[in-house]
Structure 1
Amino acid sequence: MGDHRNTTSNVIGLCLLPQELIQNIFLSLVLPEIVRLKLLNKSFSSLISDHSFVRQCNSLSNSTTWLFVYKKRWLRDAVLHAFTDRSSDRWFRIPLAELLKPVDFHGEDLYFLAASANVFLFASNNVREVVAVNLVSVTVKKIPPSPLGPRGTSSWRRSGMKLVTDSSGSGHFRFMFAEFVGNRPVLFVYDSSTDTWKSTEAKEKENDEILPRGGVHVFLSVVHGPRESVLVATSSISDSDTPVVVRPRFNDAEGLTVGFNWGNVIDRLHVYGDGYMMIVKSEGENRVRVLKGVELWGVSLDGRKWELVSAVPGEVMGVIEKRYGVMMGCLEEKNGIIRVALVSNCDGFWDMLWLSFDTKWKRWNWMPLPDCKMKGWNMAGISFSSGLTLQ
């Protein structure tokens, strides 16, 4: 009760300040905090809805990159944890329980699939449904089953799917994923503007066809074999073009393995995304390993091979070297910046690391993340995102 009185007093005191000063204070906050203030009272809502404020806020938010983490917990306590490169000293908590109430999951834990701008996708395992949550418009929408039918959470592969939002600010989005169907790679695309799915069999790439990484192309991983990977390349702005099969080969004699690194069974973790592959090398035994090297590879322009892009330099490795028992990661490329989050667990303690590589300046950067208070919890999804706006 005392906390409620203090909050009310603080809100009243803030409202007494000049509007220009209040706007400057709000602009120093990150977008999830601004959205919560908008719901607090009518005065704040009116100020935050002002066109000038929205324009300034969006200008700042568009250049901000987020890392979102979802813990596996009861739905009634659902919280999305968010960390941004704009404010590198703490995690933000985004409560979801009230937002998810209109959708009945029978108390089931959810899995966090993907994020893009204001849209977040969550999947259930028992109900086998996917829902789209818009944090700014405060709406939740069920996505109809794909042509493959209802899918459990284990069917979704992080590097094999992509969420693309409409840059116009309309709130529309496309959700893409690629799978083998009848031994052929097929692209499935859900369009929120029509609430329908479209499936297209990918064609083999022409010999002279160039598919540069980044830009308008989306690369979705289908499978990674001992010597060859299979990816589907498609347009990020239109689904009118036929998707293309890309088969880059990896010349290393060791096989490619996607997933977790445990004990001394596997000494390399491969993290895929957006036409890139990060190889995380380690050493150790007895279920505890030590991070020893990180390499970044990318699909060549002709799509025929994986080529080395860069390796994390020794001075950075000396700082990020760590012990772990199990590790996973996610990778995203946007505007020439490749970002990777490596999440490790050792003796029940979770640790996270944010690595980025600037492809223009050939420069590595790393960002240590503060404790997310995840001891004893299971990871239920992780994703990068950018472009959050008040529209």
Structure 2
Amino acid sequence: MENQRSQAPKNAIGLCLLPQELIQSIFLSLVLPEIVRLKLVSKSFSRIISDHTFLRHCNALSSSTTWLFVYKKRWLRDAVLHAVADRRPDRWFRFPAAELLRPARLHAEDLFFLAASNNVLLFASNAVREVLAVNLVSVTVKKIPPSPLGPRGTSSWRRSGMKLVAHPNGSGHFHFIFAEVVSNRPVLFVYDSLTDTWKSTTAEETHETDKTPPRGGTHVFYLNVGHGPRESVLVASTLEREAPVVVIRPRFNNNNESLTVGFTWGNVIDRLHVYGDGYMMIVKSEDVRSVRVLKGVELWGLSCDGRTWEFVSAVPCVVEKRFAAMMGCLEEKNGVVRAALVSNCEGVWDMTWLAFDTKWMQWTWMPLPDCKMKGWNMAGISFSSGLTLS
């Protein structure tokens, strides 16, 4: 985190004179990066924050907070990880990558941000072709050994084809999961940080509905392997021992529209398809005077048997915006589907946070403040939740 070992603010001494219960209540209204920085202000603050009762309440609040991380960099310049929380959507927090990655002694400009889960961040290096796991709170770095497929460059990792699952007990233990087609068959690769080993399992082709994990099931994850015009290929499984790894091939039957990855600039299909966790967001646009204009956003999900993509809901009253390019990321957790749409128009970046509650069938549209990205390159984006102080 940013080095905040500057002089304590003038009102810190006055704050210390308040009852400890009141100080803790004030601190609990803050988000995790603010609390960590307060530990550096004074020994009194550090003692309050390290109290077991405060830690328990803070971690309970932090575990329900969702973060969006964006990694940006300039060529041969310092790279920066920015983060914004749903509890504080008005402010971006800044984490210089050089500080986070100092233990690894790597050039931050060479890295691409892959994924995040709890306190763990995953980066990939294109030069040394390694994957690094960074703990955001303890500021430690772990190099992940090459997978059975060998060292991989940053272009080999597909966001919707991988998943980082960190255990929420503060141990720092995590699994890194990705799926690839090997010898024309989908294969699941799982790295366990506890044993520091990889395991690979060939996915089973099955048409038996009892072997297909239901969408929204507990601890079920879906990884996208590929997409044809009318059919997707996904791998579904859990982290349970001896759990089957199955192939799901949902069909897309929506008039004359076709599945795509990324943005198609032709006159036939003007769609951005964003995938993740068994869902698909379709972002529609129109060409207006040689500039793309956002016109609609739809959410689709796997059917109960996993055989088709089913329409879930459309965002009402979409705010039309101009852009030259757009990308996004998507995740589902505890019945809430979250997506971040990032667009660029004339060098200016714009970000929007969308959320859909599947229980109440309700949308939330949350524009984010300017991240000051003009002149910078975006090198990765990911949601995360469950950050804790310990």
TM class, shorter-length? over 0.9
Candidates 298, 309, 315, aligned match of 2:301: 298
CA distance in 1, matches of 2:315, 2:348: 25
Candidates 251, 254, 258, aligned match of 1:255: 258
Residue 263 of structure 2 contacts residue 270 of structure 2 at CA under 8 Å; is this kept in 1?
A: no
Match of 1:370 in 2: 369
* Cα distance change, pair 158–5 in 1 and its aligned pair in 2 (3 A): closer
Report Cα offsets for 1:80-124 as digits up to 9, x if no partner: 111111112111112332231121324643111000111110111
For 2:299, give the aligned amino acid.
Answer: L
CA distance in 1, matches of 2:94, 2:364: 25
Describe how 1:153-168 pairs up with structure 2 within 5 A: 153-168=154-169
Match of 1:310 in 2: 313
Residue 172 of structure 1 contacts residue 192 of structure 1 at CA under 8 Å; is this kept in 2?
A: yes
Q: Measure how far apart 1:345 and its partner are.
A: 0.4
* Cα distance change, pair 90–106 in 1 and its aligned pair in 2 (3 A): closer
Alignment pair present for 1:149 and 2:122: no
CA distance in 1, matches of 2:85, 2:163: 21
Describe how 1:14-163 pairs up with structure 2 within 5 A: 14-73=15-74, 77-106=78-107, 108-163=109-164
Residue 110 of structure 2 contacts residue 127 of structure 2 at CA under 8 Å; is this kept in 1?
A: no
Alignment pair present for 1:384 and 2:387: no
Q: Measure how far apart 1:295 and its partner are.
A: 1.0
Match of 2:328 in 1: 329
Residue 71 of structure 1 contacts residue 79 of structure 1 at CA under 8 Å; is this kept in 2?
A: yes
Report Cα offsets for 1:120-150 as digits up to 9, x if no partner: 1011111111111111222111111111111
* Cα distance change, pair 208–20 in 1 and its aligned pair in 2 (3 A): closer
Q: Measure how far apart 1:266 and its partner are.
A: 4.7
Tell me which moved more, 163-172 or 252-261: 252-261
* Cα distance change, pair 87–263 in 1 and its aligned pair in 2 (3 A): farther
Report Cα offsets for 1:273-295 as digits up to 9, x if no partner: 00000111110056511111111
CA distance in 1, matches of 2:107, 2:66: 33
Report Cα offsets for 1:130-178 as digits up to 9, x if no partner: 1111112221111111111111111110100001111322110000000
Alignment pair present for 1:357 and 2:356: yes
Consecutive unaligned residues in structure 1, runs of 5 or more = none
RMSD across aligned C-alpha pairs, in angstroms? 2.1
Tell me which moved more, 259-268 or 174-183: 259-268
Q: Measure how far apart 1:385 and its partner are.
A: 0.9
Tell me which moved more, 98-107 or 193-202: 98-107
Match of 2:246 in 1: 244
Q: Measure how far apart 1:192 and its partner are.
A: 0.5
Residue 65 of structure 2 contacts residue 85 of structure 2 at CA under 8 Å; is this kept in 1?
A: yes
Q: Measure how far apart 1:14 and its partner are.
A: 4.0
Report Cα offsets for 1:4-51 as digits up to 9, x if no partner: 875464544544444333322221210012122224444333221111
Residue 344 of structure 2 contacts residue 350 of structure 2 at CA under 8 Å; is this kept in 1?
A: yes
For 2:83, give the aligned amino acid.
Answer: A
Consecutive unaligned residues in structure 2, runs of 5 or more = none
Residue 264 of structure 1 contacts residue 286 of structure 1 at CA under 8 Å; is this kept in 2?
A: no
Residue 74 of structure 2 contacts residue 109 of structure 2 at CA under 8 Å; is this kept in 1?
A: no
* Cα distance change, pair 5–331 in 1 and its aligned pair in 2 (3 A): closer
CA distance in 1, matches of 2:119, 2:108: 25
Q: Measure how far apart 1:365 and its partner are.
A: 1.2
CA distance in 2, matches of 1:93, 1:60: 21
CA distance in 2, matches of 1:130, 1:48: 33
Q: Measure how far apart 1:232 and its partner are.
A: 0.2
For 1:142, give the aligned amino acid.
Answer: K
Describe how 1:144-293 pairs up with structure 2 within 5 A: 144-209=145-210, 210-214=212-216, 215-235=218-238, 237-252=239-254, 253-262=256-265, 266-284=269-287, 287-293=290-296
The alignment of Structure 1 onto Structure 2 pairs a total of residues equal to 384
Residue 8 of structure 2 contacts residue 41 of structure 2 at CA under 8 Å; is this kept in 1?
A: no
Residue 263 of structure 1 contacts residue 286 of structure 1 at CA under 8 Å; is this kept in 2?
A: no
Residue 293 of structure 2 contacts residue 320 of structure 2 at CA under 8 Å; is this kept in 1?
A: yes
SS of 1:211's partner is: coil
Q: Measure how far apart 1:309 and its partner are.
A: 0.9
Percent identity reads 74
* Cα distance change, pair 116–312 in 1 and its aligned pair in 2 (3 A): same
* Cα distance change, pair 95–105 in 1 and its aligned pair in 2 (3 A): closer
CA distance in 2, matches of 1:228, 1:20: 57
Alignment pair present for 1:341 and 2:344: no
For 1:167, give the aligned amino acid.
Answer: P
Report Cα offsets for 1:320-374 as digits up to 9, x if no partner: 2111110000001011000111100011010011111111111111111111111
SS of 1:29's partner is: coil
Report Cα offsets for 1:164-208 as digits up to 9, x if no partner: 111322110000000000000000011000111111101113423
Q: Measure how far apart 1:251 and its partner are.
A: 1.4
